[in-house]
Amino acid sequence: MTMRAAVRQQLDPTVRSNETRDFAGALRAKIVGQEEGVQALVDLYQVFCAGLNSPGRPVGNLLFLGPTGSGKTRIVEAAAEILFNDPHAVIKVDCAEFQHSHEIAKLIGSPPGYLGHRETHPLITQEALAQFHTEKLKLSLLLFDEIEKASDALWQLLLGILDKATLTLGDNRRVDLSQTMIFLTSNLGGGEISEMMGGGYGFIKAEDKPKAKLNEKVERTAVEAARRKFSPEFMNRLDKIVVFHPLQRKELEEVLEIELGQVQRRVLETAKGQFLFRVTASGREFLLQEGTDQRYGARHLKRAIERHVVYPLANLLATEQVQLGDLVCIDWDKRRNQLSFAREGENIALPPRKIESPALVRTAQARSGKAVETPAAILPLEPAPRLAR
C-alpha cells in the first residue's frame, strides 16, 4: 500500500474580504462607538456576501436595545447609505403607528372585498423589498422601530417573519424575506441605563465605576428588561441582541463633527452657495448644549444644527451676504447666547461644482495670506471648553 503524504494548509477564518472591510470602515466613519453593533452588521453582511445565509430564514434577526438617541436607528440608515447610496433604502416600520390591531392593514393590505381594499397599499411587499436592489447586491433591509409599542397583531406577524422569513399579505400573496436583514429596535431599559450613568438622578456616576463593570451592568439591565417584556418565543428567534451604550461627552462631540460635516457637504453641493464654514470651540459647545442631553442622547442634535446653523446660513445666502468661495466663521455670542456669523478672509476662487474641501482650504490660505482654520467638517476636533452658563 502506498502512503499518501497528507497536505495540510492552515486556514484563517478570521480574515474578512475587502468588500466587508470597506463596509466596516464606512460604517465606523458614520457611527460613533457602538462597536458591537457595527460588528453584528458586518458579520451578517459577510455571511450574505458569501451566500451562506440559511434558506428559509431571514439573513439575520438583530435586536438593538439601549437608550434613546444612541444610534440604533441611525446604524441601519447608515448601512443603507453605504450599500445603496441612500439612507432611505430601508423599509421602516414605526411600530408606534401600528398600536391598534386593525392598523395592520397598512402593513400587509386588507383582504379583497374589504372596504378600501384598493386604497391600501401594503408597506411590505416583494416589490418594495426589491426596490433598492442593485445589479450586484440583492439584499433588503427591514427595520421594525421601537417594537415595545407594537400591537399583538403586529407581534404575531413579526414572529412569523423572524421564524420562516415569509409574510402573507391581505390578498394572500406571499412575501419572501430570506434575502432580508431584519432589525428590531427598542428603548427598553433605556431610562434605567441613563439613570445608572448619572444623568442628574445619578446613583452611580460614570467616573465612580470601572468602565468594564459599568458596560456589563448596562448590558444586563437592557437584556433583563427585554426578557421581562418580550416572550421567550420572540427572544429565541433572534440571532443576536446588541446593547447600545449611552453616548459619552467625547462621543457626542464626534457625532456633532459628523453632522456638521454633512451640512458642509450639503453646502458644497448647492449650485450657487458653495462656501466653507467653521464652528469655533465655543460655538460647538453651544450646539452640544442645545442638541444633546442625558435623556435623549444625540436625538435632537440634528434639529439644533438645522435651527442654529442651517437656517441662518440659508438666510445669509438668500440675502447674498455670503457668496461663492467665502469662509464663514460661526462663533458663540455670549451676550445674546446665540451663534454669530462672520465672513473671514477674501473670496476664494471655486470651480463651479464638486470641490475637494482640503484643497479649497489651501486655496483660501494662499489667497488670504494667513492661516485659515480648516472647517469643522474637515479637521479633527479642538477640545470644546465647557461654557459657564
> Which of residues 57, 74, 278, 284 is near ligand ADP by CB under 6 A?
74
Nearer residue to ligand ADP within complex by CB, 218 or 322: 218
Tell me: does residue 69 bind ligand ADP (CB under 6 A): yes
Shorter beta-carbon distance to ligand ADP: residue 186 or 274: 186
Q: Which is nearer to ligand ADP, 182 or 301 (CB)?
A: 301
Q: How far is the CB of 163 from ligand ADP (least distance, A)?
A: 25
Instruction: Please state the φ and ψ torsions of residue 241, each to the nearest 5 degrees.
Output: -110, 125
Between CA 367 and CA 229 the distance in angstroms is 62
Please state the closest distance from residue 342 (CB atom) to ligand ADP, in A: 27
**3-class DSSP state of 292:** coil
Residue nearest to ligand ADP (CB): 71
All residues at 6 or more sequence positions from 244 whose CB lies less than 8 Å from its CB, including other chains: 34, 37, 64, 65, 66, 67, 70, 71, 72
- The answer for residues whose C-beta is within 8 angstroms of residue 130's C-beta and 6 or more apart is 138, 140
Phi and psi angles of residue 306, each rounded to the nearest 5 degrees, phi first: -60, -50
Query: What is d(CA 362, CA 371) in angstroms, rounded to the nearest whole number?
Result: 9
**Binding of residue 71 to ligand ADP (CB under 6 A):** yes
Question: Which of ligand ADP, Mg ion, none lies near 34, with the C-beta cut-off 5 to 8 A by kind?
Answer: ligand ADP
Say which entry of ligand ADP, Mg ion, none residue 175 contacts (CB below 5 to 8 A, set by partner kind): none
Binding site residues, Mg ion, CB under 5 A: 72-73
68 binds ligand ADP (CB under 6 A): yes
Measuring CA to CA, which residue among 75, 86, 84, 88 is closest to residue 31? Answer: 75
Q: What is the per-residue binding string for ligand ADP in 250-289, x denoting contact by CB under 6 A?
A: -----x--xx------------------------------
Q: Quick check: 57 binds ligand ADP (CB under 6 A)?
A: no
Q: Residue 106 or 295: which CB sits closer to ligand ADP?
A: 295
User: Residues 20, 23, 34, 183: which binds ligand ADP (CB under 6 A)?
Assistant: 34
State whether residue 330 is helix, strand or coil.
strand
- What gap in Å lies between CA 67 and CA 381, rounded to an integer? 25
Which amino acid belongs to residue 29? A
The CB density around residue 324, as the number of other CB atoms within 10 Å, is: 16
Query: Which cell numbers in the block locate residue 287?
Result: 450646539
- Interface ranges with ligand ADP (CB under 6 A): 31-34, 68-74, 185, 244, 247, 255, 258-259, 297-299, 301-302
